[in-house]
Chains A and B, each alone.
Chain A
């Protein structure tokens, strides 16, 4: 594909946003859907074209295209310049495929899911805006443009989380996401300033080739990468900035699938993988990422095990799986991280959409305690979700198994001194993941029916007629994603299992330099580790089976035995409350008392009042003179004349 068409990929969704955003209110719903879907579909087709042209023999490893904007340079300030430039290499190609294809499927699903919602046009306008910014993020050829996309997806995420803006909780969740992300973005900005200071450029090619040529100055790289990590923890919901993602479930379910599972939250992993040249110079930063990732993975999995809201389980699961990807990057296995990103995009988008289909069937019910026995009622949703659950739990030969196993293998064999511990944490997390996913599965689809049949209700208007399967426009994306969740992992079957690791070969040109992975590890180790992780996953399945299917009620009795522990976990370790008490409350106090009362009330208002009242006092003084009484004027005149005469006589 000629580079000159590259700009079309992000621009098409933007055109959709413009049309729907300005005219959508007056257009019929069918037209709104067409305006939103067709550009996204064309973008996906363009990606396909790009894919084949870059897979062709003799194709260049990357193509670059500069959009002519404001003259040739987007930004030019003495010595520094940045272009509005897009670039595509093999890493970008994978991300691009996830964004355009999964994005299109979710657009399609939304047509069904949002069919009865108010603000239909607004939803699709936002969704297209998100696509535009995400594609800019993925395609950008420098850190600055990446940051534009980074901020843009944050904006779209904010708008979509707060889509039901009449609900307080939704508006607050949107604000929380936005503000927490600002903290991370602050780190990203500082990292960019350091990059400019050190390299004088933000262009990927310039920076990375300079960094590759000069591996000695470790200090500055450590500073830059640590700040980049801060940015990544914000966007990708890692400790300590993960708190916004579970709350983001207030948005419509397709948003959770697209933005908060498949694409935007993986931007942090993409950014780290993209800047791997910098990270490879700093063992410290890599260690930090690995530890953050592993800690987040197990921590979020803990919370996920006891949540009752079906979407929140998936939200914590997302946080946990993102932790896995960071763990992979931290041990230098960027390929494994991107591989897991790819498979996770399939099965987590599937899980969210299937959960949305369940919620749709139950007319808005999200509490798993009020579900159960749905297997027969909504069979397509059941079977597709089953595929997603088995995939994320790591049961072979589904997608999640291969990618998760790859990460665990690389953690185990990494030269990092904590490698074995990281592997153990990852393994335990895998067991927990399997447990809470099957818990969700059993609680939702098996056992007795605990839901109430709604014959007329507010959520979906008058069309609701009890529990019903979703329309084709929603089940079709489910089926496609289920298929991808099944076979998606086969692109990365490792050599040890008789595959030939296509994704590894595909990404080799990007990660060739620096990723010193111990490929020498024996075939036996890899197979052994895989067997262990499968056993752990099956154990999770077994425990969930016993607790929630065979003897329902056992889980509750265990919870009753350790009430304090259970309450702490159920309340998410009170992290939100701790943040509230340690950071938000003191900040508010400082703002209200010191800045508000003392500074604003005392200094600002005081000086304002001082100026006002002194002018008024002066006026009151002078007003006495302006009495309008002619005799007093004359008196002042006479007094003045007398004074002049006195000065003339006695002055000398």
Chain B
């Protein structure tokens, strides 16, 4: 039996929504980072699902690109997070407002 495409899409939407919601709600910068990863993975899931459905390789390749970007972002982002923590002694984004005004 084949799983209909809509199941994948619904799952991806749910995952994306959870990611987006926690991005908005959470204050801890590491959690925010994780929710971005969650949203990216939700998008990856839709790409793979459509690639499988249409028997096309393009979607799979896009997934690789997204993963590369995510890895690079994690590397740079974590370095920034560590630097911020060292100087400000906090990971709460509301208190990191150096560039405000």
Contact = CB atoms under 8 A, between A and B. Distances in A.
Contacts of A634: 20, 23-24
A630 B93 contact: yes
Contact of B99 (A628, A631, A635, A638): A628
B89 interface: no
Interface residues of A, number: 6
15 contacts: A628-B97, A628-B99, A628-B100, A628-B101, A630-B93, A631-B23, A631-B24, A631-B32, A631-B93, A634-B20, A634-B23, A634-B24, A635-B24, A638-B20, A638-B24
Contacts of B100: 628
B101 to A, nearest CB: 7
Interface in B44-80: none
Interface in B13-30: 20, 23-24
A624 to B, nearest CB: 14
A637 to B, nearest CB: 9
Contacts of A638: 20, 24
Contacts of A630: 93
Contacts of B93: 630-631
A634 B36 CA distance: 11
Contacts of B23: 631, 634
Nearest to B26: A631
Interface residues of B, number: 9
A638 B35 CA distance: 14
A628 B100 CA distance: 6
Query: Which 9 pairs, one residue from A and one from B, show the smallest C-beta to C-beta distance?
Result: A628-B100, A635-B24, A638-B20, A631-B24, A634-B23, A634-B24, A628-B99, A631-B23, A638-B24
Interface string A600-637: 00000000000000000000000000001011001100
A631 B101 CA distance: 16
A638 B101 CA distance: 24
A635 B23 CA distance: 9
A107 to B, nearest CB: 72
Contacts of A635: 24
Contacts of A631: 23-24, 32, 93
Given A631-B24, A631-B32, A634-B23, 5 more contacts: A628-B100, A631-B93, A634-B24, A638-B20, A638-B24
A628 B97 CA distance: 8
A628 B93 CA distance: 12
A412 to B, nearest CB: 94
Interface in A450-485: none
Contacts of B97: 628
A580 to B, nearest CB: 60
A630 B32 CA distance: 11
A630 B27 CA distance: 11
Contacts of A628: 97, 99-101
B31 to A, nearest CB: 12
B29 to A, nearest CB: 10
A304 B3 CA distance: 121
Nearest to A637: B20
A625 to B, nearest CB: 14
A627 to B, nearest CB: 8
A501 B30 CA distance: 119
Interface in B78-101: 93, 97, 99-101
Nearest to A632: B24
A632 to B, nearest CB: 8
A206 B23 CA distance: 93
A628 to B, nearest CB: 5
Nearest to B21: A638
A630 B33 CA distance: 13
A626 to B, nearest CB: 10
Nearest to A645: B13
A472 to B, nearest CB: 83
Nearest to A627: B100
A635 B93 CA distance: 15
A635 B25 CA distance: 10
A638 B99 CA distance: 23
Contacts of B32: 631
A638 B100 CA distance: 22
Contacts of B24: 631, 634-635, 638
A572 B70 CA distance: 100
A377 to B, nearest CB: 85
A638 B16 CA distance: 11
B25 to A, nearest CB: 8
Interface string A523-563: 00000000000000000000000000000000000000000
A92 to B, nearest CB: 79
Nearest to B20: A638
B96 to A, nearest CB: 10
A634 B24 CA distance: 7
A18 to B, nearest CB: 61
Nearest to A628: B100
Nearest to B36: A634
A635 B26 CA distance: 12
B18 to A, nearest CB: 12
A48 to B, nearest CB: 85
Contacts of B20: 634, 638
B97 to A, nearest CB: 7
A634 B22 CA distance: 11
Nearest to B101: A628
A630 B100 CA distance: 11
A321 B1 CA distance: 128
Contacts of B101: 628
B39 to A, nearest CB: 10
Interface string A489-522: 0000000000000000000000000000000000
